Each structure stands twice: as C-alpha cells, then as structure tokens.
Amino acid sequence: GELYNILGWGEPYFTVNSKGHLCAKPHGRETTPGQEIDVHSVIEEVLAGTTNDNKKVQFPMILRFPDVLKVRLNSLHAAFKDAIATTGYRNRYQGVYPIKVNQNKDVIQDLVRFGHDESYGLEAGSKPELLVAMGCLAKAKPGAYLVCNGYKDADFIALALSARAMGLNCIIVLEMEEELDIVVEQSAKLGVEPAIGIRAKLLTKIPGHFGSTAGKRGKFGLLEEKIYGVAERLREMGKLHWLTMLHFHIGSMIPTTEIVRKAVGEAVGIYCNLVSRYGAPMTVLDCGGGLGVDYDGTRSGDSDMSVAYGLEEYACSVVEAARLRCDRSGVTHPVLCTESGRAMVTHHSMIIVEALSAIPEPPEDETCDQLMSKIKDLSSKQPRMAANGGAGLYSHAAELQKQGIEMYKLAKKMCKRVTSDANTIYNYHMNLSVFSLVADYWGVGQLFPMMPVSRLDERPTLRGTLVDITCDSDGKIDKFIGGGDTVPLHPLDPERGAYYVAVLLSGSYQEALACKHNLFSDPTLVRVEGGSGDGAFKVVSVEMGPTTEEIIGTMRFDVREDIARAVEELAKKNNLWVNVEPLMAKGLTTMPYLNEYKVPKTT
C-alpha cells in the first residue's frame, strides 16, 4: 500500500488488509477492521454469479460503494454545521448535487435519499438533467433547491417554471441578460412566478486547467455592473421579489482556501449591494462547485491533481468569508449553498480492469548483437592502424582516443542492457478502453491512483504501463500520480489466478464523459454495500452496460436491416447460410470488451 501512497489519497476510505488485498472502508473513519470490504473477494463473488438479467459478468467493472457516498455527504454537512457553530454564522447550509458529475440513477437517488433531512437538492445544467432532477426530487424534502444553470431556451425555462408550479423549489439562474426576457415571457404565458438567481462572473480566478471558467473573459455569468442592471430592470418591472439567489462557479478543483475566501468575499460583496442598494429580497448565496479532491495525496494544491485543504477547511473558509463581508455591510447572513460534485462522488467508486498479458517493451536503441558487432568492428581497426607505422603519430593517437571513448560508451550500454531487467517497461494489456473509462486521463491529463487489487504483501518487481484494447495509440496509460511513467506491478502468474488493477477516485466525471470509441459498451456496474458481520459485504446488483446492438444503434444503424440482413446476403452470395434469427431474437450479446462472443454458425 505504501508504494502507492494509499495513505495520502485513500484515507479514510481505502486500506490494505493482512491478506495483501485492497479494501474499501465503507464507513470512512468509523469503519472497524472487521467491516473492511475486501475488493478481491467482491470481484470473485461477482464473477462467480451472473448479472441481474442472468448474463455472464464481464470486465471492466465499476464497484460502487454507496456507504462511501453517505459518509462524504454527511461529512460535508457536518463540516458546514461545525463551521457555522464556531463562527457564529446566523443561517444554514443547504447544498445541491450537480447532476453532470455522475448522472447514474443510483448515485443521484442515493444522494437525494441520504441528504433528505438536510433538504439536499440537485443542480441541472440542461433540459434532460432538469427532467432527471424533477423525477429524483419528487421524494426530497419540500424546499430542497433545484438549481437550473446553463444556457436556456424557452422550453428549458417553461419546464423549470412547471417544476416550480409542481411545488419544487426550482431556481432559474440567469447566465445571460437575454434569459430574463424569456423568463418574463414564459412566466406570463404559464402564469407561474419564477425564483431567479444570477450567475456572477467573478474576477477571482483559479490557476491551471480549470481556471478559464472565471475572470472577465470567462464563458459564463454576468459581470458585476450587468448584475445591477438586471436588478434595476426587475425593480422597474415590479418583479424584484423574483430575485433570491446569487450564484457563482469559478471552476472545478479550487486549489487553496485562500482562493475560496477571495471568491466568496467578492460574491458576497455583490450580494450585499443587491440587498442594500436595490432592496432585492435575496436569501441564498450559491458558491457553485470547486471543492477539490486530493488525487495525488500531497495536499500541495500546486497542480490540477491536488488541493491543499479538506472538507472542513473549505466549509470554514466559505462561512467565515461570507460572515465577515455581510457583517461589514450589515446584511442578514444568506443561506449558504454549494454545488459540490467532485468532492461528493469521486471516492465512492473504483474501476476494476483485468490484465490480459504483460509484454516487455522492445528496447528503443540497438540490440545486444548490434552493440557487440560494433565493438568488434572498432577493435579490429586498431591493428590495421598500428600497421600504418609512423604516418602521423598525432592523428593516430587522437583517433585511438576517439575510439576508446566510443568503446567505453558502447561497453556502458552493454552493461546497462545486461542489468536492464529492472528498467524494462512492461506493457500490461488491460481489458479496458481509456476513452470510455477514464476519459479525463485522455482529455485533460487527469491522473488517478492505480494499484493492483491483490498481492500487496509482495513487492511488485515490474514497471508497467496500462495499454487498452482500442486500436488507438492514445489508448495507453503511461502517466501516474507521483509523476512516474510506470506503475509498480507484479509478474502475471496464471497459477495464482487473474490479476486485477483498480483505478481509484474515479467516481466523478468519468462515467459522464465516456466515449463510444471502437463501439465498446459501458462497464458492468456493481453495487456493494457494507454488511454487519465480520468482513461481510453484500453485492446488491450487477448490471451490464448496453448491448452491442444498442451501442451500434446509437450510431443510427438499424442493426437488423443494416447489419444482420446484410451479413445474411453476403453469406448467401458465397453459398453459405447464416441464421440470424435466433441472434436477433435474443438481441446481440452484450460484449462490451473482449469476451467469448460467438460468431453465428454457418451451415
């Protein structure tokens, strides 16, 4: 475990047990050693069974630990409660989960259920997300926020107004001034009064990849003066009572609490002006996302992979900055909302991939034989040169020296080659597609902790890269947390069973961003809950991704006509007969990755 810095990024959710197996700690800090979930045992149990619809389980799989989601959400609420109590803040925290971060049904429904007592709500950034949010919030506590962000057309706004009419606390956040006209129009048409928020485009920026969201040239929101313009317009229309929320989002992975404080301070300044100058009946400050995750476990905050704080420090910074600025202006403390996505869901799931083979990378330069023959060639020249007699002793000496250096270099290379097993890089072919499992690795260079699931009591002797089974040269993982271009792995040993590698901290964004490269399907989803007895766990569900037919169908093929019939024709032309009917009746088998897909029998 130490080798992989599990204490750095994994505490208090992951550990290694006495068998040398990776374990999940479903209750975080509260997990007793007996409650640790042995990941290797989970995989074996899953493989021994079938999926919910009785199919053979296939790799890769995502293991979901809903207990971890619960701990994360509870920790967020506890952090804000503590910060509010210790700073004497006179209002509450009421957050929302941004659906875009992981849109899976289980994840959203679990979070809404776990957050029920805290009136935890949802954030939607598009019409489909709004529909999902409406469905999932039907069981939430009345008053839970449904925050609508993103660009909105008349349909989006009409849907949001309908949600409000149905009793959901739906707030339409204006990203552009023009959206106000649509809200006014749709509100009149439907006879529903909206609740409005305005997204502030702050000047506070974060460095690095995620920084482009904010600043004057940021894509979203209104600059301070424009915000006052909207308040002015609302006042003129006699609709100032619509305005209840100020929202901002300066980007994901805010690296330090200093930036958190600065952003909150800037936003609360605008909030206070809306209250004191315009008399807007504001009640909520929504600080957006950005609460980070320490992927590399360094707590340094000096890269996109690390943040220099935890939930507690983040909550304290938000609460204190809001209190200070409001007290200075004599404005009532607002309800504090955040749209923390990554920090809620990153830890709760891990991707499990299986090693198919490990192949040493061929050395880049000459082979041993080539080096040997060069050395021989150089040595054979010497007697000839010596035979040249006294002809230019000086140049002879210089030539000899040059050859000496050359021989020395070659000999050194030879030595290195002999001792190079430790330097050889092994390409581990894994049953995975980088594009559909860890899209952020490929897209934005996001790094994830990766480690074997078993044999952690045995020193891994090889340096491995993870190569996927797509035909794309980008489908390779050769950058790892800590900066290495390889990860320590064990030699594959069929006698000891399959070799699994876990990709951890992969619960946010990856499933949402997955691409259909090579028409691979989605991974198998496994829901694992902690049990009560020693080492007990419960595999609650095992669901396979879309069938091959469904995946091909998303590319607008009619699988029956365009593929099955065409294949049938082709067979006929070659005097073969393919019976596609049984195949079509069953639907093409799910074959997300490599599997024993059977070619239809020809007779």
Which residues does the annotation mark as catalytic? 471
- Which residues, numbered 43-62, are part of the site for ligand PLP (CB under 6 A)? none
- Minimum CB separation from ligand PLP for residue 338, in Å? 8
With a CB cutoff of 8 Å and minimum separation 6, the contacts of 25 are 12, 13, 14, 15, 31, 35, 36, 37
Report the residue number whose CB is nearest to ligand PLP: 289
- Which residues, numbered 102-141, are part of the site for ligand PLP (CB under 6 A)? 123
Distance CA 337, CA 248 (A): 11
Distance CA 87, CA 410 (A): 69
- Minimum CB separation from ligand PLP for residue 268, in Å? 18
With a CB cutoff of 8 Å and minimum separation 6, the contacts of 467 are 427, 428, 429, 430, 475, 476, 477
Residue with tokens 């990941």: 39
489 binds ligand PLP, rule: CB under 6 A:
no
- Minimum CB separation from ligand PLP for residue 124, in Å? 10
Stretch near ligand PLP under the rule CB under 6 A, chosen from 289-297, 427-435, 497-505, 542-550: 289-297
339 binds ligand PLP, rule: CB under 6 A:
yes
Closer CB to ligand PLP, 320 or 339, in the complex? 339
Q: Please name which of 574, 562, 299 lies closest in space to residue 584, comparing C-alpha atoms.
A: 562
Closer CB to ligand PLP, 256 or 454, in the complex? 256
486 binds ligand PLP, rule: CB under 6 A:
no
Write the CA distances from 511 to 62, 197, 438, 548, 553, integer angstroms.
10, 29, 8, 18, 20
Q: How many residues does the chain have?
A: 603
Q: 531 by DSSP, 3-state: which?
A: coil
- Minimum CB separation from ligand PLP for residue 602, in Å? 51
Stretch near ligand PLP under the rule CB under 6 A, chosen from 55-63, 285-293, 397-405, 480-488: 285-293
Q: Which of 58, 149, 470, 506 binds ligand PLP (CB under 6 A)?
A: 149
CB 521 within 8 A of CB 594: no
Q: Please name which of 227, 231, 210 lies closest in space to residue 219, comparing C-alpha atoms.
A: 210
413 binds ligand PLP, rule: CB under 6 A:
no
- Minimum CB separation from ligand PLP for residue 32, in Å? 31
265 binds ligand PLP, rule: CB under 6 A:
no
Q: Which of 22, 101, 245, 272 binds ligand PLP (CB under 6 A)?
A: 101
Q: Which of 221, 255, 290, 297 binds ligand PLP (CB under 6 A)?
A: 290
Given 3-state DSSP classes, what are the helix, strand and coil percentages for the chain, each rounded to the nearest 5? 45, 15, 40
Stretch near ligand PLP under the rule CB under 6 A, chosen from 113-121, 174-182, 333-341, 366-374: 333-341
Beta bridge partners of 462: 489
Q: Which of 262, 342, 348, 455 binds ligand PLP (CB under 6 A)?
A: 342
510 binds ligand PLP, rule: CB under 6 A:
no
Q: Which of 288, 334, 464, 523 binds ligand PLP (CB under 6 A)?
A: 288
Q: Which of 250, 291, 462, 588 binds ligand PLP (CB under 6 A)?
A: 291
317 binds ligand PLP, rule: CB under 6 A:
no
Closer CB to ligand PLP, 343 or 466, in the complex? 343
Write the CA distances from 172 to 54, 146, 243, 248, 265, integer angstroms.
44, 9, 10, 13, 23
Question: 312: buried, middle or exposed (CB in 10 Å: 19+, 13-18, 0-12)?
Answer: middle
Q: Would residue 118 be called left, alpha or beta, if left means φ above 0 and alpha means ψ between -120 and 50 degrees? A: alpha
Total residues at the site for ligand PLP (CB under 6 A)?
15
Stretch near ligand PLP under the rule CB under 6 A, chosen from 55-63, 258-266, 288-296, 455-463: 288-296
- Minimum CB separation from ligand PLP for residue 125, in Å? 6
Closer CB to ligand PLP, 147 or 326, in the complex? 147
- Minimum CB separation from ligand PLP for residue 135, in Å? 20
- Minimum CB separation from ligand PLP for residue 345, in Å? 8
Indicate the Cα dihedral angle 494, 497, 502, 507, nearest 10°: 130
Distance CA 155, CA 147 (A): 16
Closer CB to ligand PLP, 219 or 496, in the complex? 219
- Minimum CB separation from ligand PLP for residue 78, in Å? 18
- Minimum CB separation from ligand PLP for residue 226, in Å? 18
Stretch near ligand PLP under the rule CB under 6 A, chosen from 31-39, 282-290, 538-546, 560-568: 282-290
Tokens of 399: 């030539």
Q: Please name which of 18, 15, 17, 16 lies closest in space to residue 27, comparing C-alpha atoms.
A: 15
With a CB cutoff of 8 Å and minimum separation 6, the contacts of 78 are none
95 binds ligand PLP, rule: CB under 6 A:
no
Question: 148: buried, middle or exposed (CB in 10 Å: 19+, 13-18, 0-12)?
Answer: buried
With a CB cutoff of 8 Å and minimum separation 6, the contacts of 561 are none
Contact flags string 234-263 toward ligand PLP, x per CB under 6 A: ---------------x--x-----------
Q: Looking at 486-532, list the stretches that DSSP marks H as alpha helix, in order from N- to C-terminal side.
A: 510-513
Binding site for ligand PLP (CB under 6 A): 98, 101, 123, 149, 249, 252, 288-291, 339-343
